[in-house]
Amino acid sequence: MAEIDEDTYDPPADSDGTGAGTTTRTTRWHARRTRGALSGLGLMLLGAWGAIIPFVGPYFDYAYTPDSTWTWTAGRGYLQVAPGAVAFVAGAVLLLTRHRLVAMAAGWAGIVAGAWFVVGPLLTPLWDAGALGRPTGGTRDVAVQQIGMFFGLGAAIVLLGGLAIGRFSVPDPRVAVTAHRTEMTDADAAAADDGREHHHFHRRHTRAA
């Protein structure tokens, strides 16, 4: 059996000339789980950070007011915990799924979560001026807190979500190659069985003659 180039492989077309062969139909929406491993793990880590940091940050003077540990506020809920949880779940889906559409949906969910980390603190004062609280410390501390808890964190999550969508937006050639190799092996086995049956039939017919 000839070797197949996994990077340039193009599945065979159907007899109707549409270019959508059997292998393409059955594998076009499947991909290896490793395709989303890096983005998925990154989204899970960043999402967990974003959701937990408002409650543990005060331990090391890294917090918005109220700067006390494990203090729940509505602002922390919808500005940090909610998008952090969405990013975490999106990352878990990317780690587990083999379906390209599901993975791309998870990537978009990650982008939305990251975007909310960025724009949420800017929009919230329009309807609830005290929901966000105030960063603590000096000028440098304030900048680090804003980057690590909202703006930089959100940008990193958006980046990982976009990378995941990009990787899953094109078919995985290795999946198609594996499926086609299986089909070729099955076809070879079937041909061998037919050959043996034909040989046995010919021998019985010869003896009977």
The pLDDT value given to residue 164: 93
Per-residue tens of pLDDT for the chain, all 209 residues: 444 444 444 444 444 444 444 445 556 767 776 788 999 999 999 999 999 999 999 999 999 998 899 999 999 999 999 999 999 999 999 999 888 899 999 999 999 999 999 999 999 888 886 788 899 888 999 999 999 999 999 999 999 999 999 988 888 665 444 444 444 454 444 555 555 555 554 555 555 55
Structural domain boundaries of the chain? Answer: 30-169, 172-209
Q: Which residues, other chains included, contact 58 with Cβ-Cβ below 8 Å and sequence gap of 6+?
A: 67, 68, 69
Looking up tokens 């603190």, which residue turns up? 121
Distances (CA, A) of 53 to 6, 71, 132, 181: 44, 11, 14, 49
Tokens representing residue 167 in the block: 């990787």
pLDDT confidence of residue 86: 98
Q: Residue 151 contacts by C-beta under 8 Å, 6 or more apart in sequence?
A: 117, 118, 121
Judge contact between 133 and 64, C-beta under 8 A: yes
pTM of the model: 0.72
**What are the respective helix, strand and coil percentages of the chain, to the nearest 5?**
70, 0, 25
CA distance 50 to 160: 15
